[in-house]
Amino acid sequence: MARTQAADYDERRMAVLDKAAELYAHSGFHGCSIADLAAACGMSKSLLYHYFASKEDILFEIMDGHIGALAEVADAYRGEADPVARFGKLTHGFLELYADASARHRVLVNDLDKLPEERRRHIVDTERMLVDLVAHTFGEIAPTLSEKDARVRAMLYFGMINWSHTWFRPTGRFTVDALAETVIDQMLGGLR
């Protein structure tokens, strides 16, 4: 007989993903066992398997949820006609998301290679879409840039912001908005 779903099934599932993101971010995917995760969630391994079929499924859902949220930011501002305004809104949106989901972002950056090829390709395709959007935006801001140069600058941009989770603390002296404005100034200064 199939097990029925509890009323709080989705909330508990999200709580498992949040706890897994924290543990994977701290110890790495291979440094955290299902037993470790179940204990941290205050549940048995069998109950954990009620929510997820495997540790890999948990990893994929963490990454897919995070990259999906980044894609939502991109979709929200893709139609902005002014490329400078679009770039600013994208930067603020990405950095706000990174600050609110530091553990998930860390997992995405550090453990992508732990996914099997098909699942990794799904994540990488979304990452490419984000890079393409920023490269296209840079090309609109500086029409004399070649496609290759615009893409290199987009990769530099993501290299800059993707690693901010290693040092940036939103509760510190520098706010997310101030960080975003600094990134915008640096990148646009190089395009003008």
CATH number of the domain that residue 127 is part of: 1.10.357.10
Amino acid residing at 76: A
Q: 23 and 43 share a domain?
A: yes
**pTM for this entry:** 0.90
Q: 98 and 180 share a domain?
A: yes
105 domain residue, yes or no: yes
* 3-state secondary structure (DSSP) of residue 143: coil
83 CB contacts (<8 Å, ≥6 apart)?
137, 138, 140, 141
Residues 99-135: pLDDT tens digits?
988 899 999 999 999 999 999 999 999 999 999 999 9
3 domain residue, yes or no: no
* 3-state secondary structure (DSSP) of residue 3: coil
152 domain residue, yes or no: yes
Integer CA distances (angstroms), 40 to 20, 107, 191, in order:
9, 17, 47
Domain count, the chain: 2
pLDDT recorded at residue 5: 66
- How many Å apart are CA 143 and CA 126, to the nearest integer? 25
Q: Residue 154 is part of which domain span?
A: 56-191
**Does residue 1 carry a pLDDT above 60?**
no
Residue of 95 and 4 predicted with greater confidence: 95
- pLDDT over 70 percentage in the chain: 96
- How many Å apart are CA 51 and CA 101, to the nearest integer? 21
Residues 132-167: pLDDT tens digits?
999 999 999 999 999 999 999 999 999 999 999 888
Which of 54, 49, 19, 52 has its CA nearest to residue 37? 19
CATH number of the domain residue 38 falls in: 1.10.10.60
pLDDT recorded at residue 125: 98
